[in-house]
Structure 1
Amino acid sequence: MKSEYCEIEAFYDGDCPLCNREVNLLKRLDRRHKIHFTDIAAPEFDPAVYGKTQDEFMQEMQGRLPDGTWVTGVEVFRRLYSAIGLRWLMLPTRLPGISQGLDYLYQHFARHRLKLTGRCQQDQCDIKSHQHEVHS
């Protein structure tokens, strides 16, 4: 993580127009610099540095906490909005029913975001491949 004051490092798909809008909003609201953003679509991004593959990063939003713990999906958004002082807005997202519904909707979006954001051609959705993939 880049800053000693960072509460979370957020890994986002910089090629996703909707994702960029959300990240730009969060950057504007992050006046205390509590979030470090890492673009997984940037040419210099190396997923192996994090012990993951590009496919793993593309599957869903990922965040890394200062202690090295990884969080994914809706939990990343809860942490991001809490970091900018909107924790109260996130509290209802933990309620039973709402939590499961948001998880389901987010998973659907994450699985289909390439198509939903116009990045597929003739039903073929390709992601940028990085040279430094982790191989098992």
Structure 2
Amino acid sequence: MSRVTVWHDGNCPLCRREIALVRRLDIRGAIEFVDATGPSTCPLDRTEMLARFHAREADGPLLSGAAAFAAMWRAIPVLRPLGEAARNRLILSVLERLYLRFLRMRPHLKGGLSRREARA
């Protein structure tokens, strides 16, 4: 079983929800989740780590954006076909464009979730 390390923004309510879902799907325990806002060691500058999603498969290169999501998906049996499909450069390119659009919307989505959590 290949181990994947995923760095995430533990201060982001949207990221916390997504990581919670992935933890539930990771029934084999193949993913190590690292909160990049905590005292952990980051392979890049912390600001850079928090600007985009990052992951590393086993001893492979550090991946970011859609490639990092694909690596994470490959570690989860139910999502593995999507992660494998992303090995195709065309599919990965489309996923990266979608990820870049998401990054532009992320501050607005984060703000909405933060307000909702504050009311709860």
**Fold match (TM-score > 0.5):** yes
Computed over aligned residues only, the root mean square deviation of the Cα atoms, in angstroms, reads 2.3
Matches of 1:109 and 1:45, distance apart in 2: 26
Is 1:45 the counterpart of 2:40? The answer is yes
Match of 1:20 among 16, 40, 49: 16
Once superposed, which parts of structure 1, at least 4 consecutive aligned residues long, lie more than 6 Å away? none
Counterpart amino acid of residue 51 in structure 2: Q
After TM superposition, the score normalised by the length of structure 2 is: 0.75
| Aligned positions of 1:96-135 closer than 5 A | 96=90, 98-118=91-111
Calculate percent identity across the aligned residue pairs.
33
Q: Which digits, 9 at most, give the CA deviation of each residue in 1:59-105, with x for residues without a partner?
A: 21011232152111111111111111121233444462x43232112
SS of the residue corresponding to residue 63 of structure 2 reads strand
**Larger Rg computed on CA atoms:** 1
Q: Any unmatched runs of 5+ in structure 2?
A: 113-120
Asked if 2 retains the 8 angstrom alpha-carbon contact of 1:60 and 1:107, the reply is no
CA distance in 2, matches of 1:112, 1:55: 18
Relative to the length of structure 1, the TM-score reads 0.68
Q: How many residues align?
A: 110
What corresponds to 1:64 in structure 2? 56
Unpaired runs of at least 5, structure 1:
120-136
